[in-house]
Homo-oligomer: A and B are copies of this chain.
Amino acid sequence: MKRIGILTSGGDAPGMNAAIRAVTRRAIDKGLEVFGINYGYAGLVAGDIFPLTSEDVSDRIQRGGTFLYSARYPEFANVEGQLKGIEQLKKFGIDALVVIGGDGSYHGALRLTEHGYNAIGLPGTIDNDIPFTDFTIGFDTAVSTAVDAIDKLHDTASSHERTFIVEVMGRGAGDVALWAGVAGGAQKIIVPERDFDIKEIAEEVKEGRQNGNKNMIIVLAEGVMHADDFKKELDKYGDFDSRATVLGHVQRGGSPTVKDRVLASKMGAYAVDLLLDGKGGLAVGIENNKITSHDILDLFDSKHKPDLSLYDLNESLSR
């Protein structure tokens, strides 16, 4: 193996640049050449490929987004798409790849490995919804952005004794809501993994008000319901001077946190080491504070499990 490629795929996440930097620098340090591939699999097929130097990834670790751009490219699920991609790899003399993205992008990595081009997947997504990893690259930053917003809403909630319903990202998984809820001191967290009863919540809010709780925040995972709809349901049970707020795409951006930068750096270096060991078709994770890897195939049979102890913790701390 002499040349590796690197691409980012799916929704962008803070820390992707830190991961690209780590892959590039580690590979160069080990004597490899590195090529950047723009726009994910679409760019691979189109041959939008260029050499990456150590200097190119300087001053990148702190930047949000991905300077290799990202795109969704469903055509790569077809063999024709894959073969076109492989043609480009041949053309540029690239022997192996690192792919950073959500689990959608892992399919491509697996297919390329099957075609004889070892590919390693790194979990780059703010949703934290990937199996066999406690944390994904970008998750901590997204939660931090959400909590920063919740802190600001606390100021105005306190001043006016309002109730805020804050919709955070997380289509399939409640991780962002769970972490942002605990860290934001939410009165209540609503996630797809747990049932809820709006009437009961209304009772709790009333009770909280009576106990002198002046700043009530309900954190809602977008996968459950829209904040506006939740507000309408809640308002049926009383006047809580409630406001719905959707944090939205802001959660995708921003300079990555320390946790995300270090995670991305460790994972990026580890991916290169796996390739140097002749391995492919693996997804890198962090489990119990250790960098690990698993067959991508195993991921497809598994489901990510959020840390629901946070839900129970919050129930206990919001009283």
Interface positions of A (Cβ within 8 A of B): 8, 11-12, 14, 16, 21-22, 25-26, 28-29, 54-55, 58-59, 61-66, 69-71, 134, 140, 143-145, 147, 149, 151-156, 158-161, 164, 179-180, 182-185, 211-215, 243, 245-250, 252-255, 257-259, 261-262, 265-266, 269, 287-290, 309-310, 313, 316-319
Contact = CB atoms under 8 A, between A and B. Distances in A.
Given A155-B254, A289-B288, A319 B12 contact: no
B29 A158 contact: no
A316 B160 contact: no
Q: Which 10 A-B pairs have the closest CB atoms?
A: A152-B253, A64-B155, A65-B155, A155-B253, A12-B159, A288-B288, A65-B159, A183-B261, A61-B185, A156-B252
B250 A248 contact: no
B243 A317 contact: no
Nearest to A8: B159
How many copies, total? Answer: 4
A20 to B, nearest CB: 12
B316 A183 contact: no
Given A12-B160, A248-B245, A25 B319 contact: yes
Given A59-B158, A64-B156, A154-B253, 13 more contacts: A11-B160, A29-B316, A29-B319, A59-B214, A65-B154, A155-B252, A156-B252, A164-B249, A246-B248, A247-B250, A257-B257, A257-B259, A288-B289
A154 B62 contact: yes
A269 to B, nearest CB: 6
A62 B248 contact: no
B70 A159 contact: yes
B182 A69 contact: no
A63 B247 CA distance: 22
Contacts of A14: 155
Given A26-B317, A258-B144, A58 B164 contact: no
A170 to B, nearest CB: 15
Contacts of A11: 160
